[in-house]
């Protein structure tokens, strides 16, 4: 009994397995998340016209095509060296807020609520969204409705829910009509009511998860997120900030074009997923996290009324830098509230109906970087082009990549606490999987890899011999 393989980890986006290496005492010595596919977007886009990149890179993911579309379009804006019209900037942010709402709702209600509502050790056959519908129909309906709202806003703005082509280099390709604005506004109160209700529910039950909060790891790490000049949370634009686990700001005001000075990328032999690290501290000391929890740790405030109240309460309960990755769920709910409030503010700005929504230009800069907060964290698209506009080099750093080291550390801690090699139970392994789930990783994005939604856990002997394996399909 020296190696356990969880293959495949369920209720995550993408395909991965977890390998638990056991020591001679039957306890877990190390745990590794292995992401098992590669897709090669950075390579096969070479030679393509740069302005096709948003459409191509959006295909990396069906959950967050909007985030890739926006990051890619921002990189293209930089290549064209244009400042996009203000209404277009607002419309892009509006679209992005809708993307946050739908993606966070998917993560919380569809993927993680079965663990939270039905219990980590409950029957795996029922521990899914169908089981939630059976036992907590109202909660399930709320989740479906909230996600639907986000998706419908995306569709109303961009004509398609998945892979829209509305966002283009230089802005967006059609302005917002008054009817559409009013339609979205009319759906907002209901969405906000669901978000508030879910927030209250979660705050009520979070104390039942003391053990998870304590053992989901990954221990102290730096946190990275985009903030504006005044330190408020930003999703569409802003400057990258790294905050250390003790609350000190390590670096602030990092522009997109300077990301490479602060982020290094290490490769490991057991995963196609690279391990980005904070370059100033080096690898592996420069471990950091991104995503909802890291964003709320990096920022000084949200910048909208209700979200700020929740933000303050969150930090009162869990400190200036909330450490446990279990709290990703909490942070995700605060961000849903923030997203809905931002949408309302943007829609109530008359300037958003302005019809000047596209700037046009050719190649004015041979390099462009687009940086954005995707639902799972900082997303960076970096392109180089020749003078004709053909891509000569591309580098993408996606949210789950930033979290790679933290996830590995987190599952090691959780596995050490929960998994006893001498009497293996499915529920123990589900807790390890739940650590991965807390980050809501998108593995197909992170490796730009082709994947199925499934996961695997392996148990290895000290000699590396496979001893046991759990697979879920």
Question: Applying CB under 8 A, which residues contact another protein?
Answer: 47-49, 51-52, 54-56, 59, 163, 165, 168-169, 173, 360, 362, 388-390
Output the CA angle 260-85-305, nearest 5 degrees: 80
**Closest distance to another protein from the beta carbon of 161 (Å):** 14
Q: Which residue has the tokens 């939604």?
A: 453
> Among 293, 273, 280, which residue's Cα sits nearest to residue 224?
293
* Residue with smaller CB distance to another protein, 80 or 263: 80
Buried b (16+ CB within 10 A) or exposed e, 213-226: bebbbbeebbbbbb
* Residue with smaller CB distance to another protein, 64 or 334: 64
How many whole angstroms separate alpha carbon 465 and alpha carbon 412?
A: 19
* Residue with smaller CB distance to another protein, 48 or 148: 48
Buried b (16+ CB within 10 A) or exposed e, 85-110: bebbbbbbbbbbbbbbbbbbbbbbbb
**Closest distance to another protein from the beta carbon of 155 (Å):** 15
Measure Cα distances from 335 to 22, 301, 310, 311 in Å.
Answer: 38, 12, 10, 9
**Closest distance to another protein from the beta carbon of 374 (Å):** 20
* Residue with smaller CB distance to another protein, 329 or 381: 381
**Closest distance to another protein from the beta carbon of 166 (Å):** 9
* Residue with smaller CB distance to another protein, 87 or 169: 169
**Closest distance to another protein from the beta carbon of 77 (Å):** 12
**Closest distance to another protein from the beta carbon of 181 (Å):** 23
How many whole angstroms separate alpha carbon 424 and alpha carbon 412?
A: 16
How many whole angstroms separate alpha carbon 81 and alpha carbon 287?
A: 33
* Residue with smaller CB distance to another protein, 79 or 240: 79
**Closest distance to another protein from the beta carbon of 151 (Å):** 19
* Residue with smaller CB distance to another protein, 65 or 143: 65
How many CB atoms within 10 Å of residue 454? Answer: 18
Torsion sign over Cα 154, 155, 157, 158: positive
Contact between 233 and 338 (Cβ < 8 Å): yes
């Amino acid at each position: 009994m020296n190696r356990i393989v969880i293959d495949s980890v369920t209720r995550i986006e993408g395909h991965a397995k977890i390998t638990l290496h056991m020591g001679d005492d039957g306890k877990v010595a190390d745990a590794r998340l292995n992401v098992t596919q590669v897709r090669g977007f950075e390579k096969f886009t070479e030679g393509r016209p740069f302005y096709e990149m948003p459409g191509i890179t959006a295909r990396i993911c069906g959950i967050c095509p909007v985030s890739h579309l926006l990051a890619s379009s921002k990189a293209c804006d930089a290549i064209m060296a244009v400042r996009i019209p203000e209404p277009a900037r607002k419309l892009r942010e509006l679209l992005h807020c809708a993307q946050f709402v739908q993606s966070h709702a998917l993560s919380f209600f569809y993927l993680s609520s079965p663990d939270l509502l039905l219990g980590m050790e409950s029957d795996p056959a029922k521990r899914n969204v169908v089981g939630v519908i059976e036992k907590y129909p109202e909660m399930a309906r709320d989740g479906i409705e909230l996600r639907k709202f986000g998706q419908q806003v995306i569709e109303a703005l961009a004509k398609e829910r998945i892979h829209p082509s509305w966002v283009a280099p230089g802005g967006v390709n059609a302005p917002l009509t008054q009817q559409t604005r009013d339609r979205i506004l009319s759906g907002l109160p209901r969405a906000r009511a669901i978000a508030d209700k879910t927030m209250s529910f979660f705050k009520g039950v979070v104390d039942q998860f003391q053990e998870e909060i304590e053992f989901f790891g990954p221990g102290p790490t730096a946190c990275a997120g985009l903030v504006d000049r005044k330190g408020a949370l930003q999703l569409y634009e802003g400057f990258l900030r790294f905050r250390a686990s003790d609350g000190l700001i390590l670096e602030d005001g990092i522009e997109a074009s300077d990301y490479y000075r602060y982020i290094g990328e290490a490769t490991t032999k057991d995963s196609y997923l690279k391990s980005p690290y904070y370059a100033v501290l080096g690898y592996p000391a420069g471990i950091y996290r991104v995503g909802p929890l890291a964003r709320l740790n990096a920022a000084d405030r949200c910048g909208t009324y209700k979200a700020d109240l929740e933000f303050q309460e969150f930090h009162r309960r869990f400190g200036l830098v909330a450490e446990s990755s279990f709290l990703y769920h909490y942070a995700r709910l605060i961000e849903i509230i923030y997203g809905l409030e931002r949408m309302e503010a943007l829609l109530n700005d008359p300037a958003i109906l302005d019809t000047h929504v596209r700037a046009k230009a050719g190649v004015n800069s041979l390099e462009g970087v687009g940086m954005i907060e995707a639902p799972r964290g900082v997303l960076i698209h970096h392109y180089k082009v020749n003078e004709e506009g053909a891509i000569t080099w591309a580098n993408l750093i996606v949210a789950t990549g930033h979290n790679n080291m933290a996830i590995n550390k987190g599952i090691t801690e959780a596995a050490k606490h929960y998994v006893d090699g001498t009497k293996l139970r499915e529920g123990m392994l589900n807790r390890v999987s739940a650590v991965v789930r807390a980050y809501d990783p998108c593995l197909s994005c992170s490796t730009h890899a082709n994947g199925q939604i499934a996961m695997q856990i392996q148990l290895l002997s000290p000699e590396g011999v496979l001893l046991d394996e759990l697979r879920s399909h």
